[in-house]
């Protein structure tokens, strides 16, 4: 319990104890149900039962067929803009306080973010102009 | 209590990291990396860095591992035989791995020397993190935007139809 000495903050690690309890409950439930069905249910294994089925249609081909590279582009763009949004949280939390310090400090903070967003927006315009998000 | 939690979490982290390396199926490897990232998020919470924990879950376990899985699906996983690499590549991998290890040790050493003054119990909370990011580390933050830009341009030029 050494960590409690540090600071009397609003949030401390032990505030997250309910999440751990929930995690344990979820894992126990999932594991328990899987084990229970494994032991309780009857097992009848036949060719038709073990087949993967696609809405009753006969399966054809391999699941690992090559597909369009566009999905990769969308995925990597998602990661980039995701991280961009993440950077806005620590900025937004401090923004009001900086504004209350004075107009100068608030404007400064605003410009800092504007440069960042401007550069990323440039990339976004580039992406749109290149037609990456078009799907035909 | 916290100490026991730390030990349990560390065991899960190291175990999942080892399983990542040792599993033959690359998809299982990615799933174990996700488990590792989640337990690292737990470590962040133990260090009272809640924002970093959330970022760890959203960005690493969420976005980046989705990207990894997508990339895995582009690889031809039908043949499971792994060809043995030539000696030169093995040596190159050893050298680069060793260099990374050196950098890690160096960063830990410099981190320890400044630890008594700069590490506080609430250093990882979002407000303090933002304050530091937008004053002391403003330039790296703005440079990240350029990094994003180059990543977008790079990904598009690499995958564009000729």
The full set of domain ranges for chain B reads: 2-123, 125-162
Asked whether the beta carbons of B121 and A9 are under 8 A apart, the reply is yes
Rounded Cα gap, residues B27 and B33, in angstroms: 10
In this prediction the pTM is 0.74
The CATH class of the B2-123 domain is: mainly alpha
Residue A56 lies in a domain: no
A131 DSSP 8-state letter: T
- Structure ipTM: 0.72
Q: Check CB contact under 8 Å for A71 and B77.
A: no
pLDDT for the residue A4: 45
Name the residue among A85, A23, A7 with its Cα closest to residue B48.
Answer: A7
Write the DSSP string, A67-89.
--THHHHHHHHHHHHHHHHHHHH
Find the domain containing A119 and state its range.
Answer: 69-130
pLDDT for the residue B117: 45
Length, in residues, of chain B: 162
**Nearest residue on chain B to A119, alpha-carbon basis:** B145
Name the residue among A119, A95, A101, A112 with its Cα closest to residue B136.
Answer: A112
| In chain A, residues 22-61 whose CB comes closer than 8 Å to chain B | none
Q: What is the pLDDT along chain A (136 residues), one digit of tens a residue?
A: 444 444 445 667 777 888 889 989 999 999 999 999 989 988 888 877 777 766 777 777 776 777 788 888 888 898 999 999 999 999 998 888 888 888 888 888 899 999 999 999 999 999 999 888 887 7
Token digits of residue B94: 């050893």
Residue A81 lies in a domain: yes
Name the residue among A23, A13, A38, A11 with its Cα closest to residue B12.
Answer: A23
Residue A117 lies in a domain: yes
């Amino acid at each position: 319990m050494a960590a409690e000495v540090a600071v009397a903050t609003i949030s401390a690690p032990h505030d997250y104890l309910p999440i751990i309890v929930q995690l344990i409950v979820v894992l126990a439930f999932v594991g328990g149900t899987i084990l229970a069905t494994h032991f309780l249910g009857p097992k009848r294994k036949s060719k038709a039962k073990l087949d993967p089925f696609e809405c009753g249609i006969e399966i054809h081909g391999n699941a690992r067929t090559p597909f369009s590279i566009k999905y990769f582009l969308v995925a990597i763009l998602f990661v980039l803009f995701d991280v961009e949004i993440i950077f806005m949280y620590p900025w937004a939390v401090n923004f009001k306080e900086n504004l209350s310090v004075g107009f100068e400090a608030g404007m400064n903070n605003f410009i800092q973010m504007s440069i960042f967003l401007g550069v990323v927006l440039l990339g976004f315009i580039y992406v749109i102009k290149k037609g990456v998000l078009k799907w035909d | 209590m916290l100490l026991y939690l730390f030990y349990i979490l560390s065991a899960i982290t190291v175990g999942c990291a080892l399983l990542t390396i040792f599993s033959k199926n690359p998809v299982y490897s990615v799933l174990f990396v996700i488990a590792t990232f989640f337990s690292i998020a737990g470590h962040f919470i133990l260090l009272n860095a809640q924002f970093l924990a959330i970022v760890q879950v959203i960005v690493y376990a969420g976005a980046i591992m989705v990207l990894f899985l997508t990339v895995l699906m582009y690889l031809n996983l039908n043949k499971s035989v792994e060809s043995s690499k030539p000696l030169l590549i093995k040596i190159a991998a050893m050298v680069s791995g060793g260099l990374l290890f050196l950098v890690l040790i160096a960063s830990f050493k410099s981190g320890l020397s400044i630890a008594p003054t700069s590490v506080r119990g609430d250093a990882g909370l979002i407000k303090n993190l933002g304050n530091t990011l937008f004053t002391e580390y403003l330039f790296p933050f703005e440079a990240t935007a350029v990094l994003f830009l180059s990543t977008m341009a790079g990904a598009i030029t690499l995958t564009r139809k000729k």
